[in-house]
Amino acid sequence: VAVPERTEGVVAPPRLGIVGAGQLARMLCEAASALGLDTVVLAADRDDAATSVAGTVRIGSPMDPDALRGIADDCDVLTFDHELVDLDALSSLESKGHIVRPSPSALVVAVDKAVQRRRFAAAGLPVPRFVVLDGDATADRLALVAFADEVGVPVVKAARGGYDGHGVVVASSLDEAVDAAMSWRASGTDVVAEARVEFRAELAALLARRPDGETVSWRTVRTAQVDGVCAEVCVPGGLDDSTAEDAARLAVRVAEVCGVVGVLAVELFDAPQGLVVNEVALRPHNSGHWTIEGANTSQFENHLRAVLDLPLGDTSMRAAAVTTVNVFGSGSPIDGALARALEEPTAKVHLYGKSDRPGRKLGHVTVLGDDGAEVTSRAWRAAAALGTPVPAQIGVR
Ligand SMILES: Nc1ncnc2c1ncn2[C@@H]1O[C@H](COP(=O)(O)OP(=O)(O)O)[C@@H](O)[C@H]1O
Ligand SMILES: [Mg+2]
């Protein structure tokens, strides 16, 4: 039998660079591994969550232009675990021909909440009434007080550098808002003051978008934040189809305004005046972890597919109800906690390999099933067994 001689070499898989090496990078690397893709992460620290699963680990700061150039030279496409990055350095890499997805021109809306509010308002997207404080102390104070006269005690946000409730104060008095705003201004960041939205629920709409603008959307979820940090994500979480679809359509408009490539998460308020955009993430997001087991294609896999310009996967739900509960540290790890969590046989436990510190996000648990209340209580049982404090707002279920 004549065997045709192979003349071509094996085509090397694309090499994906990820700036940052936290849990999102870790789950991106897991999805990349299944597709046979090679990964390289830029980690600030040897112990970062993704360093044990990435193909190659480079150590460096996402704010250091040399470190960014190093990883860009070492990969085919550059993407992100978080947005605390040096945009100027990324823009210069892009202009030299490196493929950066999402592009720094899109990423700026996630890096800077003032830019985001202004860009979205200009595009006619529904955002809370806001004012940007970027003047001197006297002017800023006057502007904030005048704004509070119109909208009541505002919510204040550091324009840059915030995450997980750090950098946001839902103030209960004007003094509290002024103090927070002034201390951020003194540290050099602009501040956004905005009207407090009396929302019925917080939602998150998730999509993935290819470079040609093709998008796929997952089912809109209901999220619950405790002290500004996401505690649980319920799908569909009692959300009616028409609100869910409105949110998904709004997210597509947001994606077009941003020009995002990859996954986009849009945090929304479901308010009496309609859907209001809270903030966006141009990357996989905590509100989308349920898609790992709960959807035919996860947010991590579709992020990879989108940034590598590969066909996007089906986003349909695999069960009628899915709940994800975040696992937080208590500071005192419990002996045998994993075994106790796994006694709940439907719980899919994800631990990110991070050391236990009080309040630190250490992992998440997802449960799929037929009944929302049932999967939510199973997910909380497993998360509580792992040491997660059950907040009073959530209650013991
Ligand atoms: N304008 C607002 N009105 C009411 N609550 C708000 C407002 N902005 C933020 N919040 C509350 O604070 C939480 C954190 O704010 P967010 O802007 O999402 O910051 P982070 O980047 O920390 O997630 C939100 O999930 C919401 O619960
Ligand atoms: Mg948020």
pLDDT along the chain (397 residues), means of 10: 64 91 98 97 98 98 97 98 96 98 97 97 98 96 97 97 87 97 95 98 98 98 94 97 98 98 98 98 98 98 98 98 96 90 98 94 98 97 94 65
Length of the chain: 397
Per-residue pLDDT, 396: 45
User: What gap in Å lies between CA 179 and CA 174, rounded to an integer?
Assistant: 9
Q: Phi, psi at residue 239, to the nearest 5°?
A: -80, 130
Ligand sitting nearest the alpha carbon of 157: 1
User: What gap in Å lies between CA 327 and CA 330, rounded to an integer?
Assistant: 10
Is there an atom of ligand 1 within 6 Å of 202 CB? Answer: yes
Per-residue pLDDT, 397: 45
Is there an atom of ligand 1 within 6 Å of 129 CB? Answer: no
| Distance set, CA 241 to CA 220, 238, 263, 316 (Å) | 9, 9, 22, 14
Is there an atom of ligand 1 within 6 Å of 20 CB? Answer: no
Is there an atom of ligand 1 within 6 Å of 278 CB? Answer: yes
Is there an atom of ligand 1 within 6 Å of 330 CB? Answer: no
User: What gap in Å lies between CA 321 and CA 237, rounded to an integer?
Assistant: 8
Report the nearest atom of ligand 1 relative to the CA of 154: 1
Per-residue pLDDT, 385: 96
Report the nearest atom of ligand 1 relative to the CA of 197: 3
Bridge partners, residue 222, by sequence: 203, 234
Q: How far is the CA of 262 from the centre of ligand 2 (A)?
A: 19
Per-residue pLDDT, 162: 82
Is there an atom of ligand 1 within 6 Å of 225 CB? Answer: yes
What's the predicted TM-score (pTM) here?
A: 0.95
Per-residue pLDDT, 10: 62
Per-residue pLDDT, 17: 98
Per-residue pLDDT, 161: 87
Ligand sitting nearest the alpha carbon of 113: 1
